[in-house]
Structure 1
Amino acid sequence: MTSWASLTNGKRIKHLRGPDMTQQGLADVSGLSLALVQKAEQDRGELSVGSLLKLASALNTDVAVILGQQAPRRGMERSDRAALLRLSDAVHESALGEWEGIEDPSSVEDLAEARDLAWAAYWASDTATVSTYVARVLMEGQVRFESATGPEREAMASILASTYRVAASCSTGFGQRDLALAALTSAKHLAREAGDPVLGALLESTLSWIYLRSAKLPRAVAVAERAGLAIEPSFSRGSRPELIAFGRNMISAAVAASRCEDAESADDYLSQAHAAAARLGREEKLHGTSFGPTAAKTEAVGIHVALKNFGRALELATAPDMKTLPKTMSKVARNRYKLDVALAQASTGLYDQAAETLIEVGLDAPEWVKHQALPGVIGQRLAKVSTARVRHIGDLIGVPLIT
């Protein structure tokens, strides 16, 4: 039997489309042209990341499945499936009030620490640990929240909202859009209860990312722009939390605009993010979100890659202040940035450097990289020079990169 990874991208798309959907139907649902769908199924030309996102959304799958890195309805390790089930149970049962039997919930301080540990595990790409801490905070936290009053109730609302947000972020990374939206819905209700507009703005940046992963690009831009305008600080008097929330939403808007190939809007949003980062002057964390000058610069590299400004992306990546990334930068953020650099390298003929960067990412985050679209795109670029080397890299990092 032919393995999923051994098929071409075109054959995988055709298989996922199935006999019940025509090529025109796929074009209509995805918002792509019929000609592009036909070329994709015939393996003529390379698909952009934006087109891959739209096809994956229309086919109710993930980009990694189209690229052969995962097989349909499989693709996840047993530990990841168990962790996502634990997340799902915690998100739904806590919101529905199914927390009977928890008579002595942890203190506000202990639950806040567990929330922080959930975020740390998320940025380390440790899904099992994320789900363990999230389940504890949501179940015990809801019990304490229901009986709390005054400042304690507001504190618990903030802790719970941030924890639902990490659940939404983790679910989105695995393509579990419905679970992510359910978690975010609970988070938004609690953020209003906490009276924290900054947390509310950060929740909108997560919603923008969910829409981005679902290929709802105009909506992703609109959500982030609206949230940014709502929290936009006075740059002379704005608080640091406001600057973080504003900057992160401007980054979200810029990323989504770049996927729409709207370079003018992407540049405008990016310039506003840089202004907020410069005002902060250093990297800071808030509600599980990091933002500052380095975050703005690394995101700028990815935005220019999406706009196919590969030379500009490499110029930014090789600037003196980007030679050494901060030790505080999370594993996920660091490797996501390096994948952008690898794609820029491969797209400008720096094949050896691209291969080295891809291997570095794959060895540093072997589980995380399996769920990313860019390794397959990079592999296709490298295969123009040597398919044998690409297969070797795929074997080395545990991700099938080409057929």
Structure 2
Amino acid sequence: MSDWSDLTTGKRIKHLRGSDLTQQGLADATGLSLALVQKAEQDRGELSVGSLLKLAHALNTDVAVILGQQAPRRGMSQDTRAALRRLSDAVHDSALGEWDGIDDPSSVEELGRARDRAWEAYWASDTVRVSSYAAQVLLEGRARYAGATGGERERLGSILASTYRVAASCSNGFGHRDLALSALTSAKLLAKDVDDPVMTALLESTLSWIHLRGAKLPRAVAVAERAALAIEPSFSSGSRPQLLAYGRLMISAAVAASRREDASAADDYISQAHAAAARLGRDEKLYGTSFGPTAAKTEAVGIHVALKNYGRALALAGQPDMKKLPASMSKVARNRYKLDVALAQCAVGLHDQAADTLVEVGLDAPEWVKHQALPGVIGKRLAKVSTARVRRISDVIGVSLLA
């Protein structure tokens, strides 16, 4: 629909529901009450992020579509659609053994560098480069892996598993859950084959995120918690890779618990993440995953926002060491954190600051921001103060924020 962004959120939900699914059916599919579904379609009250996730999952769409930031089936640029098709082909062809045409695959070292570049592109929100590097690693790496033995096979297995994981993460970010699960399945088989417990733990953190985005919150918590128990390190003698994986899993569990509005569990999990970060003492990166004091604090801000502890979130964000984020922090992580801060600012009435923060994010990551739920939530709240300003913000960042 050319005027999709002009519809209200309620009308978009009703349109996506269609005539084949009743309001009661949508309530049953989401686990939400019939009254909440009716209020949503009548545009009465605001929907929480958790409710939006459940509605998007039941309607087989993305939160950004419900909020009008993307039109159904047309939300991605042509380059992004082409990149995801290439990624899909590489994930499935490599898993099925369709690599016979590769006579001279790259060396293990070259494949490792390409894997690293794929992760760098992912954290820079460059989907085209992710697909380019990941496709090379998956197809050429599988060709070499088929005949590898010993240490070379182990290195290749870890490189391939990590590359399938970046493919899963990229796909999940665009709502392609089936492709994400396909990539993750291949990754888990490889990690088991080469006996890499740290990689296995990080794959479970990605699976937890897939469940989170699919609004399967209990499963998201359970997956992260189970994997954390399997790799839980001794804080006096645990290896740094173990501490990194454990801390990241605790964050995954805390995020999912906060979306369930389970404040006690979220606090317990984030406390464990802070403990692992303190033991590491500095931010580190492994297999494309960053963790350390910065990640623990910025993620804690988002968790407090989800729990509606806005004052606590802003107090944490206002600490001296949070005023200037490290240059090593990825563009995606930085802007995800800033959206959390903007939502907290908006919630406590700091509307000018929230608007400025939202503009910062939109200008820094224009393609990434189109696929996020929070800009629409923030825009809707800011519109209660000034619709004119929200229109100006929409024009500046290229994302429709008004229903």
User: TM bucket by the smaller chain?
Assistant: over 0.9
Counterpart residue identity of residue 378, structure 1: I
Counterpart residue identity of residue 285, structure 1: K
Partner residue in 1 for 2:192: 192
Partner residue in 2 for 1:319: 319
So what's the TM-score if we normalise by structure 2?
Answer: 0.99
Q: 1: CA distance between counterparts of 2:298 and 2:237?
A: 26
Partner residue in 2 for 1:90: 90
Does 1:375 find its partner at 2:371?
A: no
Matches within 5 A, 1:240-279: 240-279=240-279
Q: 1: CA distance between counterparts of 2:62 and 2:359?
A: 22
Q: 2: CA distance between counterparts of 1:28 and 1:402?
A: 29
Counterpart residue identity of residue 210, structure 2: I
Partner residue in 1 for 2:53: 53
Distance 1:2 1:287, change over 3 A: closer
Query: How many corresponding residue pairs?
Result: 403
Partner residue in 2 for 1:365: 365
Q: 1: CA distance between counterparts of 2:368 and 2:238?
A: 36
Q: 1: CA distance between counterparts of 2:48 and 2:312?
A: 18
Using the aligned pairs only, state the percent identity.
80
Q: 1: CA distance between counterparts of 2:164 and 2:391?
A: 39
Per-residue Cα deviation, 1:321-349 (whole angstroms, up to 9, x for no partner): 10110000000000000000000001110
In the TM superposition, residue 2 of structure 1 has moved relative to its aligned partner by 6.5
Partner residue in 2 for 1:235: 235
Does 1:63 find its partner at 2:63?
A: yes
Partner residue in 2 for 1:402: 402
Does 1:3 find its partner at 2:3?
A: yes
Partner residue in 2 for 1:16: 16
So what's the TM-score if we normalise by structure 1?
Answer: 0.99
Per-residue Cα deviation, 1:28-54 (whole angstroms, up to 9, x for no partner): 000100010000000000000000000
Gaps of 5+ in 1: none
Partner residue in 2 for 1:81: 81
Q: 2: CA distance between counterparts of 1:346 and 1:66?
A: 21
In the TM superposition, residue 395 of structure 1 has moved relative to its aligned partner by 1.0
Does 1:201 find its partner at 2:239?
A: no
Secondary structure of the residue that 2:285 maps to in structure 1? strand
Does 1:219 find its partner at 2:219?
A: yes
Counterpart residue identity of residue 101, structure 2: G
Gaps of 5+ in 2: none
Partner residue in 2 for 1:173: 173
Q: 1: CA distance between counterparts of 2:142 and 2:304?
A: 43
Per-residue Cα deviation, 1:72-129 (whole angstroms, up to 9, x for no partner): 0110000000000000000000000001110100000000000000000000000000
Counterpart residue identity of residue 389, structure 2: R
Q: 2: CA distance between counterparts of 1:31 and 1:110?
A: 48
Secondary structure of the residue that 1:147 maps to in structure 2? coil
User: What root-mean-square deviation, in Å, do the aligned CA atoms of Structure 1 and Structure 2 show?
Assistant: 0.6
Per-residue Cα deviation, 1:251-287 (whole angstroms, up to 9, x for no partner): 0000000000000000000000000000000000001
Counterpart residue identity of residue 193, structure 2: E
